[in-house]
Structure 1
């Protein structure tokens, strides 16, 4: 792991616990990007005309990495654009259950459309409460982040699978931005109808790339109207033959951005998602135990059996400034300070942070 960590120059200068805000650029990806742009510099349109091969490869890589058929993968610049395109095709008068404090790009697109929105507080009994509210309020759309951006509470994926079995007509739309890249995940076995994500955090894909994954029957639940020449793969005769996933790709896609994602999926695969998941879980357990001992975690986090590697601790501007002075890169989010640990972090870094919090 130390050899891999050396690929991230930032880590030699800072204790970087801010992946929930932005994943890091690393040497291998920088090399690929420079080669990509050099090819464009000396090849011009000759290089770009071959770009569709890289875009197709990226789509296949995403499908393989997350257990989703490639024809059900849509490439989008970010999750927010993908969700808004999707909801333009959702029928009105839906009863939508949202989580209080969820990421605005999950909630706002529903709140600005003609659907009834219901809200659920995120507590240690999250799954039980979701189930009860779906029955009580006749909910037919559940929209949520798999991992909450403020405090890192992670929904039980097995619960979602069973929920779909109990309520087969329920439409489950999920944001995986703070989850994908942290553990092995199989979309087709998840029970989720639509899963979207931006790739610049835990997937280390850089900015300007994301994707949407669709269940096989998702196309029958939406009537999306977006289209364009790229959606038809440049075929003048194919306007009426555009697939559901391709409706989310009406215009050209940047080979620099999506090639970066493709490269990083290969990078993560080479490390091994089992290795990455094990390291993140180890760091999460240590951080949770240490922070709990300091009384710095909310009860809803402490009581949960499983937690992500994102934590929000109470802290004012003074504590935040103190952490920055000690070269700890983190973020002020909500009412506290958010710490987030990826596979390139270490237990020694957690010890350093705990020392600062204890005032030593």
Structure 2
């Protein structure tokens, strides 16, 4: 991955550990976007109509990479928008189970509607805690992030598949924005019914793009409450035949933004999703070991056998200042210092981080 790193100029001067907030832009995508805008300036509507093909290409590649069905794949500007449209199609009063302290855009759409919401705190055994809550509450819907946004707590894919097998009528909705791009996923065998990801973090697609995969059960259970001319691809007589996925695409989609996501997916495909995951897991394990050795992780994260690529470092003003002075890019989250590693990071980034942390003690 060392050569891959050269495609991101910021990395020549900074240790960028802020992918959990925004992924970086690959130079190939930057060049493509410049060419796109020049072509639009010269071609106007003719160019825009030709560029519409990028949308279906993005849909098909996303589905191919993560084993979804392109006919049940919706393109959305972001997952928050897609989720809010989907929830309009679920019955009022439905029993919903959510982890406590979820990402606001995961929690608030339910809190804002007439659902019977139960929130369960997650600690060192999130799978067990969720399983017991499902057994106790008997929810109709489970909504969760695959990776907790504040500290990277990872929910096991095997667990969700097992939970679905034991509770086949449970509708499982998952936000994978902090997961896809760093880790591979087989949607069809995951047990998840709705899986959404915005493209601006680990997928490296920039802002204004994302996708939602839908299972057959989701199609059967969720009513279509949104529609627009784009849902029918401009067919005046097509309203009655739109799918749930296309109901989530009521208005025009920006071909610049989705073309950027397409390029990013092609780049990740070229690297190999399994190779990316292996690299990220190895680097993440080294980061976890170094932070654990320094006593800077919570007990629940330190004790987990498998973790994501995101960590929350115990806060101190001295650590915060030392990291800034060392040229490390990060975000304050959850009362601590959040960092994350992706396939463009390397061990030198970790050494810079550890050096800054040690200097603050």
Deviation, 1:2, is 2.1
Q: Which residue of 2 aligns with 1:198?
A: 198
- Number of the residue aligned with 1:296: 296
| 1:64-98 Cα shifts (integer Å, max 9, x gaps) | 11101100100010010000000011101111111
Measure how far apart 1:102 and its partner are: 1.3
For residues 281 and 86 of structure 2, the distance between their equivalents in structure 1, rounded to whole angstroms, comes to 33
1:116 CA displacement: 1.1
Q: In structure 2, what is the equivalent of residue 124 of structure 1? A: 124
CA distance in structure 1 between the aligned counterparts of 2:245 and 2:102, rounded to whole angstroms: 26
Counterpart of 2:27 in structure 1 is 27
Query: Do the aligned residues in 2 keep the contact of 1:90 with 1:224 (CA within 8 Å)?
Result: no
Structure 1 unaligned regions, length at least 5? none
1:344 aligns with 2:311: no
SS at match of 1:22: coil
Q: CA deviation at 1:293?
A: 0.8
How many residues align structurally? 360
1:68 aligns with 2:68: yes
- TM-aligned CA deviation for residue 242 of structure 1: 1.0
1:10 matched to which residue of 2? 10
- Report the equivalent of 1:84: 84
State the alpha-carbon separation in 2 of the partners of residues 122 and 98 from structure 1: 10
Q: Which residue of 1 aligns with 2:138?
A: 138
Q: CA deviation at 1:40?
A: 0.8
1-side partners of 2:285 and 2:174: how far apart? 25
- Quote the RMSD (CA, aligned, Å): 1.0
8 Å Cα contact 2:148-2:154 kept in structure 1:
yes
Query: Are the aligned partners of 2:75 and 2:212 in contact in 1 as well (CA < 8 Å)?
Result: yes
Give the match for residue 335 of structure 2: 335
2:323 pairs with 1:323: yes
User: For each residue in 1:204-261, what CA deviation from the matched residue of structure 2 results, as whole angstroms up to 9, or x when unmatched?
Assistant: 0000001111002311111121101110110111111111100000111100000000
> Does the 8 A contact of 1:134 with 1:140 survive in 2?
no
Measured after TM superposition, the shift of residue 322 of structure 1 is: 2.1
Deviation of 1:318 after TM superposition, in Å, equals 3.8
Distance 2:321 2:78 in 1: 31
Determine helix, strand or coil for the equivalent of 2:211.
strand
CA apart distance, 1:303? 1.2
1:174 aligns to 2:174 (yes or no)? yes
Question: Displacement, 1:272?
Answer: 1.1
Alpha-carbon separation, structure 2, partners of 1:317 and 1:113: 40
The residue aligned with 1:279 is: 279
TM superposition score normalised by structure 1:
0.98
Which residue of 2 is the match for residue 147 of structure 1? 147
Distance in 1 of aligned mates of 2:235 and 2:209: 24
In the alignment, is the contact (CA less than 8 A) between 1:230 and 1:252 conserved in 2?
A: yes
Structure 1 segments (4+ residues) deviating >4 Å: none
* Counterpart-to-counterpart distance in 2, 1:138 and 1:130: 11
Q: CA contact under 8 A between 1:176 and 1:197: conserved in structure 2?
A: yes
Residue number in structure 2 paired with 1:214: 214
Residue deviations 1:301-340, cap 9 Å, x none?
0111100010001113442222111100011001100010
Of 53-62 and 314-323, more deviation after overlay is shown by 314-323
Give the 5 Å matches for 1:242-281: 242-281=242-281
Q: Tell me the distance in 1 between the aligned counterparts of 2:165 and 2:115.
A: 24
Distance, in Å, in 1 between the alignment partners of 2:354 and 2:318 is: 16
- Give the superposition deviation at 1:36: 1.1
Q: 1:129: Cα distance to partner?
A: 1.1
* CA distance, structure 1, for counterparts of residue 316 and residue 209 of structure 2: 34
